[in-house]
Structure 1
Amino acid sequence: MDREFRVRELMLGIEGLALLRHALDADEDFLKARTEEIRAFVTGEGGPLPDGGAAVDELDAAAGYASWAARYDSLPSSFIEVEEPVVHALMDRGPVGTALDAACGTGRQTAALAARGYRTIGVDQSPEMLAQARRKVPDAKFRPGYLENLPIDDESIDLAVCSLAMTHLPDVSSGIAELARVLRPGGRIILSDLHPFVISLQGQCVFVSGTDQLAFVRNHVHLPGRYLAAFHAAGLTVRECHEPVFNGRLAPGGYEEAIPDAARAAWDGIPLVIVWAAEKPAAPHREKSV
């Protein structure tokens, strides 16, 4: 555990963000409710806090995803709900070939690729997540490995997918360079990530670790300019960028469910994820000499 923070401060932050964004256009009842809830949290006169207001622990990626693996697919996620339609539409553009699901987790995108006819390889650093993925997509191939050092041959992949994982790297350059390395000339990359807006505002995504303890794995803010610089340095051409916004879903069992009006007002219209589509330029055509 490197850092910790408390649920009460998280809830106060959401209330304050809701006020900051809607102070000029909300009705008086909304504003009064926010200030009353803030007063109750500050004075301790409100109801019990989620998780008793205990500290939220920071876990490294190995420990965090080991803890999260068993329940990862069972919890609704607004991030996944707004991301998947965009990513899957990009997958559908084909042509079908050999695909890599980098940082595949429980095989969410591996399954989507396999269903579309791709010969799919999933790579992840977490044995626990890979075990879930193997059960979900038994016909796919899976390998342990890291985004910064993929166990994949050079120029062997037609489509590389990486979903909601680059945010855990302090710098996206190494991960994007690896995706470019394994991609064949003319191949495509679909990269989704948590949007820097929501990370900057929310800080971290909290999940339930073990039976009842809240925890998080560190997310880093990567502004669009950093992605663009990394794509350019890796010799990739960006074709599209999508930014689907908050859909109203609050994480079940989380602290935001205790203050739903404030939470929905805080995130209204905020992009939750960013989805990039990029290509590796095809090898130049050479005329045969006569």
Structure 2
Amino acid sequence: MSGEFRVRELVLGIQGLALLRNAVDGDDAFLRQRVEDIRRFASAEPGREPFPDGGAAVSELDAASGYAAWSAVYDSLPSSYIEVEEPVVSSILDDVAPGVALDAACGTGRQSRVLAGRGHRVIGVDQSPEMLAKARANTPEGDFRVGHLDRLPLDDDSVDLAVCSLAMTHLADLAPGAAELARVVRPGGRIVVTDLHPFVIALQGQCLFVHGADELAFVRNHVHLPGRYLEAFGRAGLRVRACHEPLFNGRLAPGGYEEFIADAARAAWDGLPIVIVWDLEVPTPKESRT
């Protein structure tokens, strides 16, 4: 699947969302500015003032190809999603004693480093050899394996903790991934799953990255409302301890089109959850009978 990075349409969408969310009780001057901007941008020619450069081709890649291309720059890109996710995950991990920990869909090993630093013996699994090469370099003491989230190369009941960060949303069906995490974690063990919040995916679409000299690409994120997660976790026999939904922190992607319309972009996302974090537990046989 291919398309085009349409700057005018994206700018108009953000302006419209900011206007929609503030239409009832927003500041009059702010609302007038949004309407003025929408008129000005709608009448302008794409690729010309007042727009920043745009118009690059956009391709959808599968997870293996996408993360192979993304791996070279992944760790260097600032991310508001990661910034709001990490403190929540850290607070959950404070309650987990060191043991054998799985970093599922580990990517470059961001969570692997954290887990190793907390005294866990880390196993990282990812389908991208390019991402795994980065993870091995970042956490040499880890055991990193090629594998898929819905077919983990681990034995049943073989880890005490599993962390899966910003990856399950790539699955069209959450159930196989949830079942695999439940399978490999011992009874009484913990699972932490984080994802882009479905609100963000539904409103913003896909996360783009540079692919090649003059092209953008994305790996599809599917919209899974909280009820879908609850259904998948329930079918896997998991207990939900807590669900956290950290909010947008005001950071816009440096150099992105939203910086061009920063007031509207911050108003569009203000107060919305941008990440969802699930704190889960595998019940013991005794707990499962109660």
Range of TM-score over shorter length? over 0.9
For these two proteins, the number of residue pairs brought into alignment is 285
Any idea what SS the aligned residue of 1:47 has? coil
Contact 1:186–1:283 under 8 Å retained in 2: no
What TM-score, normalized by structure 1, do the two folds share? 0.93
Hey, what's the Cα distance between the residues in 2 that align with 1:194 and 1:67? 20
Any idea what SS the aligned residue of 2:97 has? coil
The 5 Å alignment of 1:153-164 reads: 153-164=155-166
Please report how far the alpha carbon of residue 178 of structure 1 lies from its aligned counterpart in structure 2 after TM superposition. 0.5
Please report how far the alpha carbon of residue 95 of structure 1 lies from its aligned counterpart in structure 2 after TM superposition. 1.5
Contact 1:166–1:175 under 8 Å retained in 2: yes
The 5 Å alignment of 1:160-199 reads: 160-199=162-201
Hey, what's the Cα distance between the residues in 2 that align with 1:257 and 1:59? 26
Any idea what SS the aligned residue of 1:162 has? strand
The change in CA–CA distance for 1:254 and 1:207 in structure 2 (over 3 A counts) is farther
Corresponding position of 1:53: 55
Q: 1:88 aligns with which of 76, 82, 90?
A: 90
CA deviation vs aligned residue, 1:181-201 (integer Å, no higher than 9, x gap): 101111110000111111111
The change in CA–CA distance for 1:34 and 1:168 in structure 2 (over 3 A counts) is same
CA RMSD of aligned residues (A): 1.7
Corresponding position of 1:99: 101
Q: 2:207 aligns with which of 182, 205, 208?
A: 205
Corresponding position of 2:124: 122
Please report how far the alpha carbon of residue 211 of structure 1 lies from its aligned counterpart in structure 2 after TM superposition. 4.1
**Deviates further, 49-58 or 197-206:** 49-58
Corresponding position of 1:241: 243
What TM-score, normalized by structure 2, do the two folds share? 0.93
Please report how far the alpha carbon of residue 122 of structure 1 lies from its aligned counterpart in structure 2 after TM superposition. 0.5
CA deviation vs aligned residue, 1:48-107 (integer Å, no higher than 9, x gap): 534423343322222221221111111110000000000111112112100000000110
**Deviates further, 28-37 or 11-20:** 28-37
Please report how far the alpha carbon of residue 126 of structure 1 lies from its aligned counterpart in structure 2 after TM superposition. 1.0
Corresponding position of 2:42: 42
Any idea what SS the aligned residue of 1:52 has? coil
Corresponding position of 1:265: 267
Hey, what's the Cα distance between the residues in 1 that align with 2:49 and 2:28? 23
Corresponding position of 2:141: 139
Any idea what SS the aligned residue of 1:150 has? coil
Contact 2:6–2:54 under 8 Å retained in 1: no
Contact 2:2–2:58 under 8 Å retained in 1: no
**Deviates further, 76-85 or 63-72:** 63-72
Any idea what SS the aligned residue of 1:70 has? coil
CA deviation vs aligned residue, 1:14-70 (integer Å, no higher than 9, x gap): 111010001122223212222222223222266253442334332222222122111
CA deviation vs aligned residue, 1:219-263 (integer Å, no higher than 9, x gap): 101111111111111111110110000000111232212111111
Any idea what SS the aligned residue of 1:161 has? strand
Q: Percent same amino acid at aligned positions? A: 70
Hey, what's the Cα distance between the residues in 2 that align with 1:177 and 1:6? 39
The one-letter amino acid of 2:208's match is V
Please report how far the alpha carbon of residue 3 of structure 1 lies from its aligned counterpart in structure 2 after TM superposition. 4.7
Hey, what's the Cα distance between the residues in 2 that align with 1:278 and 1:114? 20
The one-letter amino acid of 2:40's match is A
The change in CA–CA distance for 1:216 and 1:49 in structure 2 (over 3 A counts) is farther
Contact 1:51–1:213 under 8 Å retained in 2: no
Contact 1:124–1:146 under 8 Å retained in 2: yes
Corresponding position of 1:288: none
Give 5+ residue unaligned stretches, structure 1.
286-290
Corresponding position of 2:77: 75
